[in-house]
Amino acid sequence: MLNDNADIVYNPDEPFFMAFNLDKQPTVDILADLRGAYILGEMIKYREWHDYYILSRLLTIYQAHGMKVEQISAMNDFFYHFCW
């Protein structure tokens, strides 16, 4: 179904669905950083405050340091085949 080698799999057109491989340390770290941005109030320094905007900023940084992110575009096909 989803690539086991990827740390995160998502569709940029439908960012409400993301798959996080919690067996990988970078994934655990990015989720902790996202939580920390809200707990420490860091998110008010960003232009936008919603979770996907902040997560996309973190993804840019983490990808530059080797995080494996896979973008998929056929979410509708995925849902039709595996969820219905």
Residue pair 58/69 in contact (Cβ under 8 Å)? The answer is no
Q: Mean pLDDT, 10 residues at a time, over the chain (84 residues)?
A: 82 81 94 91 82 87 94 64 53
Looking at residue 11, its pLDDT comes to 82
Residue pair 44/84 in contact (Cβ under 8 Å)? The answer is no
pTM of the full predicted structure? 0.76
Looking at residue 55, its pLDDT comes to 87
Which of 80, 24, 34 has its CA nearest to residue 61? Answer: 34
